[in-house]
Amino acid sequence: MNEYQTPSDIYIGKLLNNRYLIRDLLGAGGMGRVYLAEDVTKNCMLVAVKMLSLSIGNTQLAERFGREIFIGAQLGKKSSHITRVLTYGITNEKIPFYVMEYLRGRTLKQILKIENLTLSRFIEISQQICLGLDCAHKGVTLNGKIYPIVHRDIKPENIFIHNDGQRTEIVKILDFGIAKFLTESGGITMTEAFIGSLPYSSPEHMQGKKILDERSDIYCLGLLMFEMLTGKHPFHTTSHSFSTWCRLHCIQAPPTFEEVNPSVQIPQELQQLVMRCLAKDVNDRPQNVSDILENLAKIKTQIQENSIQNSGELQLDSHVKLAPLTSISEKECWQKHWPKNKPLASICFPHLLHTTKGNIPTLWAMLPEAEILKLKNKTHTNEFISKMDYPMLLWITMLYDDESGLIRWLSYYLDIKDIREEKILRNLSGIGYYHLLLFTHENPHKCSHVLTFLLTAKQRQYLSDIINSSRNSHKINSSKQAKNILRIEYEKFKKEVNKKLNINSKKLPNFFNSWADKLLDIFKSS
């Protein structure tokens, strides 16, 4: 019997609203219970059903439950890092419930109890949490207005690491039950008694400040990041009193990482970022989640560069190693030969390379040797374009020499309906980098140069969203029509890039950082 199941549980084995067959009790909390169920109208697809503990006669509880449904329904559509609410209803006993996606995996709390996180996994999980929070902070639409959402209960129990059978883990933020809408004045008006988790509450939350904003979630994220890195909460106490935790959050300076866990080795930049999040004064913290994402991306790149220079493995502790280094797979790329079934011409194509460190996405291209020599150490960037009319994506890699003005566009259309090409995209999203293998016309058979491209957190999320949405795609556009649509967008992109380069080529790197984000936002909203 499930540990939560009791003889008084009348719903197990019952058919809810003639559609959801309740199979088991997954968990129980102060607000309600969560059941495993089968959707009998959709080939017994597994779903989770959350049921309120009390009837809708309890107005305050019902309002909180309704707010959780509303927020989950909107945000779950916008971000794959927030649990999606599918539908809702009321039982014959007047008990409200809602149906959400069923997640397979463990909470972060369960994971931290039994294992330490590597630096690479820490960054990956943190980036995905930030993407979910960023979506919430950007808000939901209510009565024609956009209201940002503050979660107020970011803690290990509410971070779920979902694994749907693929290699890639997807981080999901759970439980928006005590989340609040930001008012037009920029914060939450606190009109109720303290609600939250004492170990994971911001100083302003503990003090009952009338205004809370997204920086309150950032403090809680700092607590979470500290615990992920050290295995321990920054403030240790056996007390469960409000006054003790209020003193710790509001007055007590957080300890150093070494004081909590002397065995960990954490980059200084990462320590500084976490400590900024833990600042008592909201003005001393990162002002938004985008700032944290940007810092995490820089830290990740720096770690990878240091790893390549040292040709070794960075460790979080003596027992845990980082994910495969790009330098190892790069060495294997140098040994590759141009495929016999490909013409000796200026073409490019993707290939999932099987290495000793696993499958690595690669792009192979053949160019004149003189061009490669000009382009190999110059400006490089990548982009992905999809219009969702057909499950197809355009993968773009650009090489640019600012001295001669030489630009090389390498592009390939990936059909997500093709199992092989979908697998390449999944690896791109999961690993977060790819190798470009360059071959020369003059000596075409052996690899001449290898370049490594890192994907931003937004790009990885974008790829993940496209793959997930393609499962439910019923568009009638043909592959040929999809290519024509993407080709038009591709030409617009190239035209805009050329225009910007001609205006001021010296600002190319900054331009691409801003343009890529703008382009991504445009296509995600279309």
User: pLDDT by residue (tens digit) across 270-290?
Assistant: 999 999 999 999 999 999 999
Top mean-pLDDT range of 70-84, 110-124, 212-226: 212-226
pLDDT category at 307 given cuts 50, 70, 90 is: low
Q: What is the pLDDT of residues 231-284, one digit of tens each?
A: 999 998 888 899 999 999 999 999 999 899 888 888 999 999 999 999 999 999
State phi, psi for 384 to the nearest 5 degrees.
-130, 135
Residue 18 burial (C-beta neighbours within 10 Å; 0-12, 13-18, 19+): exposed
Report whether pLDDT(332) > 70: yes
Locus of tokens 């369960």? 110
- 134 Cβ contact list (under 8 Å, min separation 6): 288, 289, 290, 293
User: How far is 475 from 293, CA to CA, in rounded Å?
Assistant: 34
Amino acid, res. 115:
E
Residues 234/223, Cβ–Cβ less than 8 Å = yes
- Which strands make up the sheet holding 20-28, listed edge to edge? 15-16, 20-28, 32-39, 45-52, 96-101, 85-90
Write down the pLDDT at residue 328.
57
Pairing between strand 145-147 and 85-90? unpaired
Residue 178 pLDDT level (bands cut at 50, 70, 90): low
Q: What is the mean pLDDT of residues 91-109?
A: 86
Q: Which residue in 412, 414, 416, 415 sits closest to 397, CA to CA?
A: 412
Instruction: Report whether 176 contacts 129 (CB < 8 A).
Output: no
Is the Cβ–Cβ distance between 278 and 222 less than 8 Å? Answer: yes
Per the structure block, which two tokens stand in for 316? Answer: 């979080």
Mean pLDDT value across residues 408-415 = 92
Going by C-alpha positions, the residue among 175, 145, 179, 169 that lies closest to residue 157 is 175
User: For residue 127, how many other CB atoms are within 10 A of its CB?
Assistant: 22
| Model pLDDT, residue 176 | 75
Identify the burial level of 216 via C-beta atoms within 10 angstroms of its C-beta, where 0-12 means exposed, 13-18 middle and 19 or more buried: buried
Give the pLDDT band (50/70/90) at residue 186. Answer: very low
**C-alpha dist (Å) from residue 113 to 92, 232, 322, 500:** 40, 10, 19, 51
Tell me what the mean pLDDT of segment 13-19 comes to: 87
Can you tell me the distance from the alpha carbon of 69 to that of 50, in angstroms, rounded to the nearest whole number?
10
**Which of 296, 303, 271, 279 shows the shortest CA–CA distance to 130?**
296
Give the confidence band of 516 by pLDDT, cuts at 50, 70, 90: very low
What Cα–Cα distance (Å) separates residue 80 from each residue in 2, 121, 169?
29, 18, 11
User: Is 70 exceeded by the pLDDT of residue 475?
Assistant: no
- pLDDT exceeds cutoff 70 at 30: no
Please tell me the predicted confidence (pLDDT) of residue 522.
Answer: 32
Lowest-confidence pick of 72-81, 311-320, 421-430: 311-320
Residue 225 · residue 274 · CB < 8 Å = yes
What letter represents residue 425's amino acid?
A: L
Which residue is catalytic, options 134, 153, 175, 213?
A: 153
Q: What mean pLDDT is predicted for residues 194-217? A: 85
Residue 373: pLDDT above 60?
yes
Name the range with the highest mean pLDDT among 156-170, 378-392, 400-414. Answer: 400-414
% of the chain with per-residue pLDDT over 90: 31
440: closest CA among 515, 373, 356, 503?
373
Lowest mean pLDDT among 75-79, 208-212, 480-484: 208-212
Confidence class of residue 47 from pLDDT cuts 50, 70 and 90?
very high
Instruction: State the chain's mean pLDDT as an integer.
Output: 79
279-305 average pLDDT score:
88
CA–CA gap between residue 270 and residue 255 (Å, rounded): 15
pLDDT surpassing 70 at residue 224: yes
Structure tokens at 48: 């989770």
- Specify the pLDDT at position 520: 39
C-alpha to C-alpha distance for 423 and 361, rounded to whole angstroms: 9
pLDDT of residue 225: 96
Active site residue 517: no
Q: Does the pLDDT of residue 311 top 60, yes or no?
A: no
Question: 52 has which bridge partners?
Answer: 32
Contact 129, 292 (CB under 8 A): no
61-65, 311-315, 487-491: the lowest-pLDDT one: 311-315
pLDDT at 325: 41
User: If pLDDT is split at 50, 70 and 90, which confidence band does 305 have?
Assistant: low
The amino acid at residue 279 is A
Alpha helices by DSSP H, listed for 289-333, are 289-310, 326-333
Contact 32, 51 (CB under 8 A): yes
Instruction: Give the containing element (helix H, strand E) for 26.
Output: strand 20-28
pLDDT of residue 320: 27
Q: How confident is the model at residue 383 (pLDDT cuts 50, 70, 90)?
A: confident
More confident residue, 525 or 136: 136
Alpha carbon distances (Å) from 517 to 117, 280, 382, 512: 29, 31, 12, 8
